[in-house]
Structure 1
Amino acid sequence: MSKDSDPSAKDYRATLFLPQTDFPMKAGLPQAEPKWLAKWASEDLYGRIRAAAKGRPLFILHDGPPYANGEIHSGTGLNKILKDFVIRSQTMMGKDAPYVPGWDCHGLPIEWKIEEKYRAEGKSKDSVPIDQLRKDCREFALKWIDVQRGQFKRLGIMGDWDHPYTTMAYKAEAVIAGELHKFLANGLLYRGFRPVMWSPVEKTALAEAEIEYHEKQSPTIYVKFPVVAGPETGASVVIWTTTPWTIPANRAISYSPTMDYAVYEVSEAGEGALAVVGEKLLLSDALAEQVASHSKIKITRVAAVDPSKITCAHPFRGKGYEFDVPLLAGDHVTADTGTGFVHTAPGHGEDDFEIVLEKLGKDYPNRNPDAFAVVTADGAFAPNVPLFAGKYILSRDGKKDGDANGAVIKELIADGKLLSKGTLRHSYPHSWRSKAPVIFRATPQWFAAMDQEFEGSNGKTLRQLAMQGIADTKFYPAAGANRIGSMVEGRPDWVLSRQRAWGVPLAIFVEKATGKLLNDPTVNARIIEAFKAEGADAWFNSPASRFLGEGKNPDDYEQVKDILDVWFDSGSTHVFTVEEPIEPSWFQKDFADLYLEGSDQHRGWFQSSLLEGCGTKGHPPYKAVLTHGFVLDEKGYKMSKSLGNTVLPQTIADQNGADILRLWAASSDFTQDLRIGGEIIKANVESYRRLRNTIRFMLANLAGFAEEERIAVSEMPELERYILAKLAELDALVKEGYAEYDFNRVFNAIFNFCTNELSALYFDIRKDALYCDKATSVRRRACRTVTDEVFRRIVTWLAPVLVFTMEEAWTLRYPNESVHLQTFTDVPEGWAAPALIEKWTRIRALRRVVTGALEVARRDKVIGASLEAAPVLYVSDEADVDLLKGLDLAEIAITSGAHVSQQEPPADAFRLAEVAGVAVAFHHAQGDKCARCWMVLPDVGKNADHPDLCGRCSGAVG
């Protein structure tokens, strides 16, 4: 009977220990989080954490620098959040884990933006003085550093934001130049001439790490090269290529020494065929029929042929291409596709270049400079190229093919040298900045040799040291070792030079008379000192004599003005942030404990850092590498502005709160590609709500808790000891998970504990005791003691993840403390109880059957609440009876009464298939309903002073 229906009923609410807390149910994260950030900044929380951690074992996560050229995106946000998880968890596990954020400020990403600005103003980059261009690039980078710093801080990222590292800092530029000088000193640096990936749009060489692959439609052509010497004069060798524009650069044809070749005669020519009946073609036997099918002809094999005895003419002989085209045996020729003969343009392909130098002499480029002067830096045919001068491979913006391919194909048709043509969609390299296709183009560049022994390497090459370094590094996930290993194992020499303006120059001199590199420590020292004082601008603003000093004639030396690959910049950052910090507040160590970036950095920063470290110190600058996947939209598509499916982290923070984004990162398997979108965010908001309610319940029921109320474990009921045993089990998992950077496992284990052990079991059972028992009862004291232990651990364990929410919860109990200054509490040995966990696993199974029976009764309107029931639990196993001895089944089932029986259960008893040998029969509880605890008990009314209360409540109210 309620107070409302019975005016004479007493109101006992004042006698209950009802929940009390200022921790609101609704978080209001978008409004609350900026206030926490302001508070932490005003109190210098990061500085206090550093001071508190002083003297602990040092843990260094070296920050891979993002480019300072735009707002952060979901991938950048995920990366920084994961790094924050590492820093905070390592700190709370008792380490001194500083975090120095950094930015990559040089190179094309920024220079390209400035060029776009110039073009919008009607200016050409070439018309702007280099010092002005570099100044504009520096200011652009500074602007975006400030923007990104604010966005990262809004996500709750903790670090030394007042002293970040930037690759454009003067001291940093000096160190980068000094690291290059180490490659100069040990002999790994050389100037070479070979094909490299070249961006006609950006007019510079690119490294593999600057390339991304997209589908491209290319024209395909089968071209006839007339035989002019050998046994098959009058026939034609047929080649196949997807780059018609390289035909003017052809200087040889490659064939396989292990394949069979023959002369084939055209016996039939179908409609639209370009071949004529009787024409003789040289093809590999393995691919002849495929060529015939593509060319709409039928062919008859005439005789085997030895390609080594054949010489061809260029298809455009008589029109400025009067040289012979030799046939060269090469192992790179395969029977996968084509004709078995490979068109070889040494200026535009790695294999082409190598085979020509191998077979025709290392001095081939010097003897045949015209073969390497076919295409200019902007992707146009050079003025000296017959027939095609001025034709472009790509349109000026790089968005489509230019007129070069069409012009070449048209000329081949006119000369009768085209056998057939078609199109092919294939994966093709593009610049990851301009998004335009790239070409291979032979140019003089500076390289670091991969396969040369060098001074201080103990007889090993850079490749060998790098492979050993990979074997010595721990990768998370382990497959990362294979990925980077396969790349390093097969990569060419490192292209270090770029034909740009913004960056650290290759600050070296070359003796003009001999071509030797100047390796003078005194000169190098002057360069470094100038860079420290004025930055790398000094190299462009000073005469060579400033660096060469007395005794050296500047006219005798070439001052190299090429810019260093930005991957060399970022690959050197470990030197000036970790090993020889240029900022006194940073922490020094011989190596970084961890590098953490996206999986694409196996070919980027992980690899450039590996090669830089191995080339200067003989080993990697890191001990472990952790990678994460890409962030995709909700449907699994790559995010892009054109598709309108981008999800910005700052938008989520503003709308839902940064803690929601952090929860998403922690609850996802970040080692794979991750998805994010509106529905996924909603699901994470719901998970957050459930977790927050658990925290709120603990705070509300710990109001007024004092140390004198604490009770020893040995005096606690078995349920409390079970929860502590589970807490001890979870403690081991959490610490192991954080140590292995398995944040997904950590968060989900904590969340499941809060949901299953706490909310669905422990707090559900103990609400009655918390609210209704008298303050001194052992049961209530035990529950409050356990809740206190659970609260302190759950909140500290989750502090690295939900940085704002856990701070809010912690400060409500400990107003003058920050949770982020805490360390994880050790678990007392007496808590662990595997046998007790096993016992309660079975008890919980029995409880599920009881709960199922009560749900049926509630569904059928037999009861309204479980306290109206007194079920009978039928068990067939004596062991189940023993399990429940000494325990109150009614308390566990949250009923007013309960009974265990080994008799045969009624036929209509409730059963669960997965819990064998157990059944439950529903019965109504006997007695009256207590006005205070609402239990239906026989002893209600036995106390004359409190006729509407049960015995327990009568004692509680006095």
Structure 2
Amino acid sequence: MEIREKARTFAKAAIEKQKSAFIRWGIMADWNNCYYTFDGKYEARQLRIFYQMYDKGLVYRSYKPVFWSPSSRTALAEAELEYNPEHTSRSVYMKFPLRAPSPKLASLLDGATPVSVLVWTTQPWTVPANQAVCYAPQSRYAVVKCSTSGDRYIVAADKGPSLASALDTTFEVISTFSGEDLEGGACSHPLVPGKVSPLLPATHVTVAKGTGLVHTAPAHGMEDYGVAAQHSLPVDCSVDEGGLFTAAAGPELESKAVLEEGTDEVIKMLQSVKSLLKEETLIHSYPYDWRAKKPVIVRASKQWFVKISDIKPAAQEALKAVKFIPGAALNAMTDVLERRPYWCISRQRAWGVPIPVFHHRARDECLINSQTVEHVAKLVEQHGSDVWWTLPPEQLLPKEVLSQVSGPDGLEYLPGQDILDIWFDSGTSWSCVIPGADQRADLYLEGKDQLGGWFQSSLLTSVATRGKAPFKTVMVHGFTLGERGEKMSKSLGNALDPDVVINGGQDQSAEPPYGVDVLRWWVAASNVFTEVTLGPCVLSAARDDINKLRNTLRFLLGNVAGFAPDTDSVPVDRMHVIDQYMLHLLQGLASKVTDAYKQYDFGKVVRLLQAFYTRELSGFYFSIIKDRLYCEKEDDPKRRSCQMALAQILDVLVRAFAPILPHLAEEVFQHLPYGSEPESVFRTGWIGTSSVWKKPGLEEAVEGACAMRDSFLGSIPGRNAAEYEVAIVVEPGLLFEIMEMLQAEETSSTSQLSELMMASRCTLLAQEPRQRPAGTTELAGTFLINLEGGDIREESSYKVLVTPATQEKCPRCWKYTAESPDTLCPRCAEVVGGV
């Protein structure tokens, strides 16, 4: 109980720390109503799911080899392992004397010369538990003679040369035969006098490594256990919970740690009986306990298992109705599920949910039924799972059962001490969050390591009890790497703390504070479905992106000041063409952004937004509307048209990035110059656009003018466009009619065409002028009009005649349209005079 109390205190503190971090990061949730796996109601639901599965025959108790952590003294599931690629093992080549050759093999041997089976293993400590040697029946084998010792060995035919090289000798092939010919043969156990190790066929044996003949210890290998089950071999385990040999292993080995001095002793024993041919060091990937960071072993013990084979077909079928992001994750999860032989769900720990089973004092019997489990579940629901350890056993059983299991010496059954695997804890979370029989979560989100963990345990428990997956969509992300692509981990000390990214480190010149939104923007911009890099360069780039966005927002906010949408709006069809064009682009942006969010493609959202605010807004629209915004009358319909477009752009833009940059979005909404009390952007709905905005024909008008504008601006690099006048000559036809939409009169300094060209004056002509002013530059080009999906196609040529401005610079609007440097141009004079 002391351990459980400390664990609970630790869990609560960790939850509060994580919760405050999530809130700081701008993650929205019902933080006052979270679910906790140690809550009594949650634990009770978990116990009922366990019994449902037990009642269906999907949960059983068996003596099997499982991954075992000597350092934690408990069984582990595969999801609790992490693989150390730099683990060092002491591997050995050893010989098992052939005791009785198979009938077919006997005909190939002279009977007088001894022959041994050659075996290789990376786990010498398991040799005392050997019960057989397995071969591949479809492979070819050979009897070879060692040139150094004269000994004869049986090895896989293809492995002869490489084995001879490994043993610093050469082999002479005496004869070859099929693996099937080994059937019925037997070897002598090298360390247990008189013990026979039969030669047995097995599907897991390959000739890819080793000798093609595999030492088989059913107590210490999953595949070995399968061979034992098939051939009724003993599964004797002489290794205890701490990874030490028991007395059953013999006096030389007793109390020695199997991975340390135990291995050393077994190798010495093999050497003393002349069975050892060679020992070498092997560096390879090996499973470690994810908590203790110490190597695990495979060890047979009595555990509780889920019969995955019975759930697997339904689980695989259920996955077909689940959307995976990215799609490849479906195959990855299916493969992990396919390879999983069984799920060990019992653990030998103090902190956790008890397996609600009572064990007989003397016999290997269990007591569990619907009455006992429901009684325990109700107690747990009311008081929490501590009752399993704090209440007398008599109170853990219902009265009607208690009378049946009480003998003269007291209660015959005692509560078991195993707890449920944490993946069973978390894997039943759907029952608490979405308890309805037909409910499924919209989204499960976790890292790719959970394809064999939480995603899978959630799927198996839900399919087992409800016949369906608990999720509609599964989103699988990769992991964060250092800026040079190196793995980040706490143990390596190179993990980047989000709090340091947000608030800065102790030395803020080296670790500046970037704020939450920079962290969120980096996540959104990254391809999170693979490994992503994080470091100062990446974060600085994200900060620069947001600064550009902030500048865009500042311009938008500043220029909608004095605009009241309810009274100052202009009907869309009466807006300037360029403003209508921007609404057309905005409608397309909103549609693409919405679709990208639906696909959880946040990187696409970022790219769409970046392109829009840097290219369409800052690089194009803002540069051409400043004259209209700053120099027309405040309430001029031209200016109101522009403000209406800016207000719509601001609204769509903020809603579009709000899920990624919630703090910036709220900040903008608090500074909107119109509306009543500021309202949260997240309480006002998603992006709203109008189908009226979609006007594909406008694209031809604006893009045609832009082609001419590009010709003009390209001819005056680095110069101020207002220092020039432009004449555009377009032959009569569709392009000329489109240009007339932008400028009705022949010459204007305030038309939409002149605004777009950014020149001081613009003239639109259907034919070239007879006379050209001195210094005129002629630019020629063509523009292809493509309307109605290609039904209307017309290529027109145009000329742009560029002439230095002939008038003076207006001191107010800075266009070269004034009679003298000291007087206002006609437009500005009218605006100022009317104030």
In 2, Cα distance between equivalents of 1:918 and 1:714: 28
CA distance in 1, matches of 2:153, 2:118: 7
Give the residue type in structure 1 aligned to 2:205: V
CA, structure 1 residues 643+537, in 2 after alignment: closer, same or farther (shift >3 Å)? closer
3-state SS in 2 of match to 1:472: coil
Which segment is superposed worse, 644-653 or 701-710? 644-653
CA distance in 2, matches of 1:567, 1:914: 64
User: Residue 357 of structure 1 aligns with which residue?
Assistant: 229
Q: Which residue pairs with 2:47 in the alignment?
A: 177
1:407 CA drift (Å): 2.9
C-alpha displacement at 1:638, in angstroms?
1.4
- Give the counterpart of 2:620 among 744, 761, 767: 761
Amino acid of the residue matched to residue 571 of structure 1?
Answer: G
User: Does residue 392 of the first structure (1) align with residue 254 of the second (2)?
Assistant: no
Q: Which residue of 2 aligns with 1:420?
A: 278
SS in 1 for 2:22: helix
Q: What does 1:603-614 correspond to in 2, within 5 Å?
A: 603-614=452-463
Distance 2:366 2:696 in 1: 70
Are 1:291 and 2:163 counterparts? Answer: yes
Structure 1 residues 719, 634: CA separation in 2 closer, same or farther (over 3 Å shift)?
Answer: same
- C-alpha separation between the residues in 2 aligned to 1:909 and 1:381? 96
Deviation per CA, 1:387-445: give whole Å up to 9, x if none. Answer: 32233234xxxxxxx23333333332333212223333322222222222221111111
- Contact 1:854 1:922 (8 Å CA) reproduced: no
Which residue of structure 2 aligns with residue 262 of structure 1? Answer: 142
Say whether the 8 Å CA contact 1:849–1:910 is kept in structure 2: yes
2:79 aligned partner? 209
In the other structure, the counterpart of 2:404 is: 552
Q: Is the 8 A contact 2:811 2:822 kept in 1?
A: no
Alignment-derived partner of residue 191 in structure 1: 61
Tell me, in whole angstroms, the C-alpha distance in 2 between the residues paired with 1:343 and 1:912. Answer: 81
Match of 1:315 among 190, 196, 217: 190
* Counterpart residue type for residue 834 of structure 1: P
Which residue number in structure 2 is paired with residue 237 of structure 1? 117
- Compare 300-309 and 717-726 and name the one that shifted more: 300-309
Count of aligned pairs: 774
1:432 to 279, 285, 290: 290
- What does residue 422 of structure 2 align with? 566
Candidates 668, 675, 686, aligned match of 1:809: 668
Measured after TM superposition, the shift of residue 650 of structure 1 is 1.4
The reply on whether 1:690 has 2:570 as its aligned counterpart is: no
Structure 2 distance, partners of 1:877, 1:676, is 58
The 1:925/1:408 distance shift into structure 2, 3 A limit, reads farther
Displacement, 1:936? Answer: 0.8
Query: Do the aligned residues in 1 keep the contact of 2:53 with 2:59 (CA within 8 Å)?
Result: yes
User: Is residue 162 from structure 1 mapped to residue 32 from structure 2 by the alignment?
Assistant: yes
Is 1:702–1:784's contact at 8 Å kept on the other side of the alignment?
A: yes
Structure 2 CA distance for aligned equivalents of residues 677 and 913 of structure 1 = 48
Q: Distance in 2 between matches of 1:914 and 1:639?
A: 54
CA RMSD of aligned residues (A): 2.8
Asked if structure 2 preserves the Cα contact closer than 8 Å seen for 1:849 and 1:919, the reply is no
What is aligned with 2:209?
337
Q: 1:668 Cα shift?
A: 1.8
Distance 1:838 1:315 in 2: 88
Runs of at least 5 residues in structure 1 that lack an aligned partner in the other structure: 1-130, 270-275, 366-370, 395-401, 452-460, 581-587
Q: Does the CA-based 8 Å contact 1:484-1:603 persist in structure 2? A: yes
| Other structure's SS at 1:627 match | strand
Counterpart position of 2:813: 933
**Who is 2:831 aligned against?**
956
What is the Cα deviation at residue 947 of structure 1? 5.7
Aligned amino acid, residue 27 of structure 2: I
1:679 pairs with 2:537 = yes
Which residue pairs with 1:735 in the alignment?
594
Partner SS, residue 474 of structure 2: strand
> What are the residue-to-residue correspondences of 1:124-163 with 2, within 5 Å?
131-163=1-33
Moved more, 230-239 or 767-776: 230-239
> C-alpha separation between the residues in 1 aligned to 2:490 and 2:346?
32
CA contact (8 A) 1:239 1:343 kept: yes
Equivalent residue number for residue 759 of structure 2: 895
**TM-score, normalised by the number of residues in structure 1:** 0.77
- Using the alignment, how far apart are the partners of 1:145 and 1:652 within structure 2? 21
Q: Which residue pairs with 1:372 in the alignment?
A: 237
Contact 1:870 1:890 in 2 (8 A): no
Contact 1:652 1:661 in 2 (8 A): yes
Aligned to 1:542: 391
Identity %: 35
Aligned to 2:792: none
Q: Distance in 2 between matches of 1:720 and 1:325?
A: 87
Whole-angstrom distance in 1 between the partners of 2:72 and 2:798: 75
Give the match for residue 604 of structure 2: 745
| Equivalent position of 1:80 in the other structure | none
Q: CA deviation at 1:819?
A: 1.3
Query: How far is the alpha carbon of 1:949 from its aligned partner?
Result: 0.8
- Describe the shift of the 1:899–1:418 C-alpha distance in structure 2 as closer, same or farther (beyond 3 A): farther
Q: Distance in 1 between matches of 2:481 and 2:798?
A: 48
- Kindly state the Cα deviation for residue 919 of structure 1 after the two structures are TM-superposed: 8.2
Question: Tell me, what secondary structure is at the counterpart of 1:286?
Answer: helix
Question: 1:880 Cα shift?
Answer: 5.7
Q: 2:265 aligns with which of 399, 407, 425?
A: 407
Contact in 1 for aligned 2:128/2:192 (Cα 8 Å): no
Say if 1:308 and 1:327, in contact at 8 Å, map to a contact too: yes
Residue number in structure 1 paired with 2:330: 481
The one-character-per-residue Cα deviations of 1:907-932 (angstroms, maximum 9, x if unpaired) are 99789999998887754222100010
Q: Helix, strand or coil for the counterpart of 2:220?
A: coil
Residue 224 (structure 1) aligns with: 95
Q: How does 1:784-933 map to 2 (within 5 A)?
A: 784-813=643-672, 814=675, 815-855=677-717, 858=718, 863=719, 865-870=720-725, 883-887=738-742, 888-898=752-762, 923-933=803-813
Matched, 1:302 2:174: yes
CA 1:894–1:221 in 2, change beyond 3 Å: closer, same or farther? same
Contact 1:155–1:650 (8 Å) recurs in 2: no
Of the three residues 704, 707, 716, the one matched with 2:562 is 704
State the alpha-carbon separation in 2 of the partners of residues 310 and 778 from structure 1: 100
Cα gap change, 1:167 to 1:642, in 2 (>3 Å) = closer
Measure, in 1, the Cα distance between the counterparts of 2:202 and 2:338.
Answer: 21
| 1:251 alignment counterpart | 131
Whether contact under 8 Å (1:255, 1:327) holds in the other structure is yes
**Residue 545 of structure 1 contacts residue 553 of structure 1 at CA under 8 Å; is this kept in 2?**
no
Kindly tell me: are residues 469 and 515 of structure 1, through their superposed partners in 2, closer, same or farther at Cα, counting changes over 3 Å?
farther
Q: Which letter does structure 2 place at the counterpart of 1:164?
A: C
Alpha-carbon distance between aligned partners in 1 of 2:562 and 2:393, rounded to the nearest angstrom: 76
Conserved? CA contact 2:776–2:801, under 8 Å? no
The 3 A distance-change label for structure 1 pair 606 and 838 is: farther
1:211, distance to aligned residue in structure 2 (A) = 1.5
TM-score (ref. length: structure 2)? 0.88
Deviation string 1:217-273 (CA, Å, 9 cap, x unpaired) is 323221111112223561110011111222222111000111122211112x3xxxx
Is the Cα contact below 8 Å between 2:356 and 2:368 reproduced in 1?
A: no
- Could you tell me which residue of structure 2 aligns to residue 497 of structure 1? 346
Letter in 1 for 2:652: R
2:705–2:753 contact (8 Å) kept in structure 1: no
Give the aligned partner of residue 506 of structure 2. Answer: none
Write the distance in 2 (CA, Å) between the matches of 1:253 and 1:310.
Answer: 10
Q: List alignment gaps of at least 5 residues for structure 2.
A: 504-512, 743-751, 785-794
For the residue of structure 2 that corresponds to 1:381, the secondary structure is coil
User: Which structure shows the higher strand fraction?
Assistant: 2
